[in-house]
Chain A
Amino acid sequence: MALLAAPLVMALVLAWIRLPRSVVVGLANAAVAIAFIGALLLRHGDTVVGTWLLSVPIGFQVDTISQTFALVTTGVGLLIHAYSAAYMAHDRDLSRYFAGLNFFIAAMLLLVLADGPVLLLIGWAGVGFASYLLIGFWYERPAAVAAARKAFLINTAGDVSLMLAIALMVTSTGQTTYSGIFAGHVPAVAVAWLLFFAAAAKSAQIPLHTWLPDAMEGPTPVSALIHAATMVTAGVYLLLRFHPVLAAAPSAAEGIAILGGASCLLAGLMAIAQRDIKRVLAFSTMSQVGYMFMAAAVGLGAAALSHVVTHAFFKALLFMGAGVVMHALGGDERDLYKMGGLRQKLPATSAAMGVAALAISGFPLMSGYFSKDAILESLLANGHPWLWALGVVTAGLTALYIFRMYFLAFWGKPRTQPSHGESWLSFRWPMAVLALLAIVGGVFVRPFAWFSLTSGATLVLGLAGFIIAYRLYALRGPVGDAWLDGGVGSLLRSEFGFDAIYQALIVRPGAAIAALIAAGDPAATGGLATGISRSAAAFAEWLRGWQSGLVRTYALTILVGAVLALLWVAVR
């Protein structure tokens, strides 16, 4: 399992050993390259490596799902590593950064290659931990620390849910491998909802999505990694892997699909009202993952898997482009209102972003066209017209928000002069590769249909979204957002108030209980603790008197001790 070991070992090496910067970059990239080659060479089947926890086998299972995920994780991960080498070139903590990145890849690989839920859980928790490390990478920024904590807490809620699901499955079947579990009887409805809750936390689906926009505080390549290659897709993997359980509970699967559709639509709406370029992309990810959830929940695994792959290509590209823009505007400028006109200064980036925008909005023959329409067509064909309608409407929204972002950033008059251009080679070649993949990535997903009712509908709505975006933003810039000042706009800008609701329902009561405990604590445990420490200090003070520094006193003490021991023997 070299592909698993290389990034893991390198993460440990980089975390503990100080190395020159160029060596750090080289080693980190090499480790992921090895993992990518290993993923290419994977052969389908099971391998059992050993046993732990008394009887749980450590084994790996390779099938189409896990190999696809492993390839996306390592392939896109490798490009992001290469991009990071330039993006993070001036950061003083390069080694810690790449250690986190490699650990992220290793944890994700463990997650997708495990042959049972117990090992999967370890990778799952590792992914959450890695995201905590990387979102909070710039720990001097309070916002980054808060975002990392938020992501970790919400993910932990998901982890608990996953643990409960695994416990239910393992106790009801007595098996710890996927094949064993799926052969037995599990309480499908409960497990399905618990799995969904876990997947929603990791993949930022309603109702556990609020960490994702905040996670934009991390370095931009980390965002790319989280959104494209590793973390967010883990939830989709979970639904795909446990599809037999979902199939055994059709009502739950239907409910999960509806929640996925809600995420898809609402995130598309929220993305329209964002000023922060990375938050647009964050909600866009949420929306696209909503598509995957819809398909995965109702058993359309192949379609969902194809969208995972294509989404990884264009979403990584979008984040890389956003990173170049931020970099050109002096490091950390994310406000779309302060961009504009970057087409002239950043032509290559502009072209790449344009390609990615076309791909995500499903322009014919580009990768997003095939994968998204694959999902929608299968939904329609399998009797889910309402989900189909949700998806088609969201396709129009996708075109609207992504081109709003594109036009605000790259068209119109410059509102800030870029401080430098896109000079670095290593910035560009990963983007070029991804742009190519975003265009032709459809071949990986085996086109379902070249044209159909669905593609016609998405095309019309997508075109409408594009035209609206062009009319509102291409020339007028931020003024085009005037229509958002009304009631609906403020609802969108407040992101439907999820954060406020959670604040009122969970955070404030929790803080109140914590304050209560903090007030009562000094008297109870505090008194006990200080009492123990005081008596220990008093005892130490008394004992200190014996340490007189006089050698002969010590010798006398020894002699008296020897005599007492002898007397004790004599008397006994």
Chain B
Amino acid sequence: MTPYVVLSAILFAVGAVGLLVRRDPLVMIMSIEIMWNAANLLIVAAARFYGTVSGQALVFLVITLAAADVAIGLAIVMHVARRGEAVDVDALKELKG
């Protein structure tokens, strides 16, 4: 099981780094996709190693929710773009305390 755990962790870390260093929100959403995927991989591996199909059912639901997450994220990007603002998350900091 260890190789899967490590692989999953590496993929998760890559996604996290992408989320943290990129400024284009679209690429950030893709990075989040990678992180979702890393988690899915771990769950599928666990399902296989524990021999229960429930894990796969869970992953199915996670994929669904990830799709919803992407849809909302993209809608927000579209909304910001339509307001004529730069698509740059560092410029979007109106909620600064």
Q: Is A92 an interface residue (CB 8 A)?
A: no
Give A541's nearest chain B residue, CB to CB. B97
Interface 0/1 of A240-267, CB less than 8 Å to B: 0000000000000000000000000000
Known contacts A550-B89, A550-B90; decide if A555 and B20 are in contact (CB<8 Å): yes
Interface 0/1 of B38-62, CB less than 8 Å to A: 0000000000000000000000000
Q: Are A548 and B20 in contact (CB under 8 A)?
A: no
A548 is contacted by which of B16, B28, B96 (Cβ under 8 Å)? B96
How many CB-defined contacts (below 8 Å) exist between A and B? 32
Known contacts A550-B90, A551-B89; decide if A544 and B97 are in contact (CB<8 Å): yes
A549 is contacted by which of B16, B19, B28, B95 (Cβ under 8 Å)? B95
Q: Are B96 and A559 in contact (CB under 8 A)?
A: no
Q: Can you list 24 A-B pairs with a CB-CB distance of less than 8 A?
A: A544-B97, A545-B97, A546-B97, A547-B95, A547-B97, A548-B93, A548-B97, A549-B92, A549-B93, A549-B95, A549-B96, A550-B89, A550-B90, A551-B89, A552-B19, A552-B20, A552-B21, A552-B28, A552-B89, A555-B16, A555-B19, A556-B20, A559-B16, A559-B20
Whole-angstrom CA separation of A551 from B88 in the bound complex: 11
Q: Would you list which residues of chain B between 15 and 37 have a CB under 8 Å from chain A?
A: 16, 19-21, 28
Interface 0/1 of A146-166, CB less than 8 Å to B: 000000000000000000000
Q: Which residues of A contact B16 (CB under 8 A)?
A: 555, 559
Whole-angstrom CA separation of A551 from B96 in the bound complex: 10
Q: Are B20 and A549 in contact (CB under 8 A)?
A: no
In the complex, besides A545-B97, A552-B20, 12 extra interface pairs with C-beta distance below 8 angstroms are: A544-B97, A547-B95, A547-B96, A548-B96, A548-B97, A549-B95, A549-B96, A549-B97, A551-B92, A552-B21, A556-B20, A559-B16
Q: Which residues of A contact B93 (CB under 8 A)?
A: 548-550
Closest approach, in angstroms, between the C-beta of B39 and any C-beta of chain A? 12
Q: Which residues of B contact A546 (CB under 8 A)?
A: 97
Q: Which residues of A contact B94 (CB under 8 A)?
A: 549
Whole-angstrom CA separation of A549 from B95 in the bound complex: 5
Give B9's nearest chain A residue, CB to CB. A566
Interface size class of A (residues with CB under 8 A): 10 to 19
Closest approach, in angstroms, between the C-beta of A290 and any C-beta of chain B? 69
- Residues of chain A at the chain B interface (Cβ within 8 Å): 544-552, 555-556, 559
Closest approach, in angstroms, between the C-beta of B80 and any C-beta of chain A? 12
Q: Which residues of B contact A550 (CB under 8 A)?
A: 89-90, 93
Q: Which residues of B contact A559 (CB under 8 A)?
A: 16, 20
Whole-angstrom CA separation of A552 from B88 in the bound complex: 11
Closest approach, in angstroms, between the C-beta of B26 and any C-beta of chain A? 14
Interface size class of B (residues with CB under 8 A): 10 to 19
Whole-angstrom CA separation of A544 from B97 in the bound complex: 5
Q: Which residues of B contact A555 (CB under 8 A)?
A: 16, 19-20
Give A546's nearest chain B residue, CB to CB. B97
Closest approach, in angstroms, between the C-beta of B56 and any C-beta of chain A? 25
Whole-angstrom CA separation of A555 from B16 in the bound complex: 8
Give A551's nearest chain B residue, CB to CB. B89
Q: Sorted from nearest, which 6 A-B pairs have the closest CB atoms?
A: A547-B97, A549-B93, A549-B96, A544-B97, A549-B95, A551-B89
Whole-angstrom CA separation of A556 from B92 in the bound complex: 17
Whole-angstrom CA separation of A548 from B28 in the bound complex: 19
Q: Would you list which residues of chain B between 62 and 97 have a CB under 8 Å from chain A?
A: 89-90, 92-97
Whole-angstrom CA separation of A549 from B89 in the bound complex: 9
Q: Which residues of A contact B21 (CB under 8 A)?
A: 552
Q: Which residues of A contact B28 (CB under 8 A)?
A: 552
Give B89's nearest chain A residue, CB to CB. A551
Whole-angstrom CA separation of A544 from B90 in the bound complex: 18
Closest approach, in angstroms, between the C-beta of A80 and any C-beta of chain B? 59
Q: Which residues of B contact A551 (CB under 8 A)?
A: 89, 92
Whole-angstrom CA separation of A549 from B96 in the bound complex: 4
Give B95's nearest chain A residue, CB to CB. A549
Whole-angstrom CA separation of A324 from B94 in the bound complex: 65
Q: Which residues of B contact A556 (CB under 8 A)?
A: 20
Whole-angstrom CA separation of A544 from B96 in the bound complex: 9
Give B32's nearest chain A residue, CB to CB. A555
Closest approach, in angstroms, between the C-beta of B28 and any C-beta of chain A? 8
Whole-angstrom CA separation of A545 from B28 in the bound complex: 24
Closest approach, in angstroms, between the C-beta of B19 and any C-beta of chain A? 6
Whole-angstrom CA separation of A551 from B90 in the bound complex: 8
Q: Which residues of A contact B97 (CB under 8 A)?
A: 544-549
